[in-house]
Structure 1
Amino acid sequence: MPTGVAIRDVREQLFDAAERILLRDGPSALTSRAVTTEAGCAKGVLHRHFADFDAFLAELVLDRIDRMDSQAAALRDAAGTGTVAGNLADALTALFGSVAVAIVALITFRDELRARLRQTWPTGVPVLTEATVMIASYLTAERDLGRIAADADVDTLAPTLIGAGHLLFADRKGIPPEAGAVRKMVTTVIGGVVQGA
C-alpha cells in the first residue's frame, strides 16, 4: 500500500486478516508480517496502532469476545421457543463454527498472550469462559420457564456443554461435525433435566 494513503477501519482490517490466517493456517502462521501482508498494508501500520504483536493479539481476542454479546442475546431470547436441545445445538454450532476454536488454540499456543489476557481476564480461557456464561444464562432462563428441572445444576451443565462442544469442533483441518452429532451430544448432556423429555 502506498505511503500516506489512509486506511479506513485499520483495526478491523487487521483483525479480519488475523482471523483469516488463524482459520486457514493456524496459530503458528500468525505473525505481524503475515497479518499486514494479508491486510494489504505496511508492517508499520500494525505497530502504529498496537504496542507490540501480543498487544494486538490480546485486542483481537477481546474484540471477538465482544462479538459474542449479540449471540448471547439471541440465545436468551430463544428461551421458551423451539426445543432446549435444538437451541443449544444451534448456539454451539454457531460458536464453534466461528473463529472461537482457533482463538482457543492461539491462546494455548502463545505464552505472552495468555499473560496479557490474565491482566483483564484472571481465570479460564476467555472465549470459553464467556461462552459458558452465555450457555448458563440461557439454561437459567429455560429453568425459570420450567422447561428444564428446577434443580438443574446450570453451573455444571454449561461448562460441560462448552467442553464437549469444543472437543467436537476442535480439529481445525477436519470436517465440522454433522448437526446430528452436535444435537446428540447436547441431548446426552441435558437429557436428565429437560422437562417432558
Structure 2
Amino acid sequence: MSPRKAAALRGAADDRTLRDHLVTTAQRLLADQGAATLTVRGIARAAGVADGVLYNHFPDKDALLAAAVRAHVDAAHRALGPLPAPGAATVERNLRAYLSAGLALHRAVLPVVAGLLATPAVLTRFTELPTDQPDWRILLARYLNGERELGRIAPDADTAAAAAVLVGICHDQVLATLLPGMSPHPVDADAVITTVLTGIAPRTERA
C-alpha cells in the first residue's frame, strides 16, 4: 500500500478500500454542508489524498457525489431496522411504525437530495446505481397489500391511495422545513392512522 493510501485510511477498517473511503468522506460532507460548495479539492483534502486520486476511482465529481448519495440513502434505509410484516400485531400499530420510519427516512434523505436539485446529472446517476436496500415506499405498499390479502383491511381498500397519504405526509413534514418562511403543520400520528383506517365520510355513507 502506498504511503498516501495508508495515510488516507489510517484508523479505518482494514478492509476499507480507498474508493469506499472517498465515498464515505463525500457522504459526510454532503450531510454536513450540502453539495453547493463541494469541490474535488475539498473532498480530497477531507479524505487526506491528492486531488487527482479521486479520478483514479471516479470519472468526475458527479459520479463520486452520486455514489455518496446512494450510500447515504442506503444507510438511512438500514437505520430503519425491520418493519412490521402483514399479520403481526395490529394494523393500526404497524402503520404507526411505518409512518414513524418514513418520517425518519425523509428527514435523513430529503435535505441531501434537495441540495442536489441544481445538479440533476448527479441525481440521474444516483438513480442508476444498484442498491440492496428495498425502498420504504415499496415496503409500505407490500405491507398494505399483504394485510388486504389477509382480510385485516377491506378487500376493496385502495392500498395505493393509503400509501400515497402516508408518503405525502412525510414529504410535507420535511419539505416544509427546507423552504424559507415555511414550517410543517403539526401532525398527530395517531390521528393520521385513524383517518387512513376509517376514512372521513359520514358513517352512514360508509355503511
TM-score normalized with structure 2 length = 0.66
Q: Kindly indicate whether residue 102 of structure 2 is the aligned counterpart of residue 102 of structure 1.
A: no
Q: Kindly indicate whether residue 102 of structure 2 is the aligned counterpart of residue 92 of structure 1.
A: yes
Distance in 2 between the 1:11 and 1:75 partners?
31
Where 2:155 maps in the other structure, the secondary structure is coil
1:67-82 aligned within 5 A: 67=75, 70=78, 74-77=82-85, 80-81=88-89
Which structure's relative contact order is higher, taking Cα pairs within 8 Å and 6+ residues apart? 1
Residue 137 of structure 1 deviates from its aligned partner by 1.7
Distance in 1 between the 2:188 and 2:86 partners?
18
- Give the number of the structure whose alpha-carbon radius of gyration is greater: 2
Contact 1:107 1:114 in 2 (8 A): yes
**What stretches of structure 1 of length at least 5 have no aligned partner?**
none
Counterpart of 1:28, as a letter, is A
1:98-177 aligned within 5 A: 98=108, 100-117=109-126, 120=128, 130-170=135-175, 171=177
Q: Over residues 102-157 of structure 1, what are the superposed CA-to-partner deviations in whole Å (9 max), with x where a residue is unaligned?
A: 33214423122234346x38xxxx9xx93322221222233333333322222233
Contact 1:36 1:46 in 2 (8 A): yes
72 and 51 in structure 1: CA distance in 2 versus 1, 3 angstrom threshold = same
The CA RMSD over aligned residues, in Å, is 3.8
Counterpart of 2:187, as a letter, is A
Distance in 2 between the 1:25 and 1:189 partners?
38
Seq. identity, %: 30
Q: Over residues 3-56 of structure 1, what are the superposed CA-to-partner deviations in whole Å (9 max), with x where a residue is unaligned?
A: 353633333332332232222222313332332233333322322111111111
17 and 133 in structure 1: CA distance in 2 versus 1, 3 angstrom threshold = same
